[in-house]
Amino acid sequence: MMKLERRFVFDVNVIVSAFLFEKSKPDQALGKAQNMGFVLVSNSIAMELREVLLRPKFARYLSLERRLELENNFIEATQIIEPTHTIEICRDPKDNKYLELAVSGKAEAIITGDEDLLVLNPFRGIIILTPQEFLNR
């Protein structure tokens, strides 16, 4: 059966938590989105993900090799889209890239733990949820 073209955007912190903590809410939410459709990623989000995964503080959870393997598997399963919209609405300007990707890629939801994004729910018809809220839907 072909997956419907449902699209989701995850913030980097949720993705990293999903990698580091198997069976956690972020991990379950990411799995649910991947089963329902596609996770969208832009080059800037992929670069930020790599940067965060290289941080030495995560070595106590997973080896660098394992972190990069998880990243590679994740990126291979995503749809990479370059945003065509510019949005400047977030209190934290670094968060605008998630809105730009979601709008450009016609995502139905952004999954995040970031209050600066959560306060904007819904944004242009896109729901913004925590991993737990996404799992409850």
pLDDT tens per residue across span 80-117: 999 999 999 999 999 999 999 999 999 999 999 999 99
Give the distance, in angstroms, between the CA of residue 30 and the centroid of all CA atoms in the same chain: 8
Q: Output the pTM of the full model.
A: 0.95
Helix intervals (H) in the chain: 12-20, 25-36, 43-53, 64-76, 96-104, 115-118, 131-136
> What's the alpha-carbon Rg for the chain, to the nearest Å?
14
Q: Which residues contact 69 (CB under 8 A, 6 or more apart)?
A: none
| Residue range 7-136, CATH number | 3.40.50.1010
| For the chain, domain boundaries | 7-136
pLDDT in tens, 25-53: 999 999 999 999 999 999 999 999 999 99
pLDDT for the residue numbered 5: 84
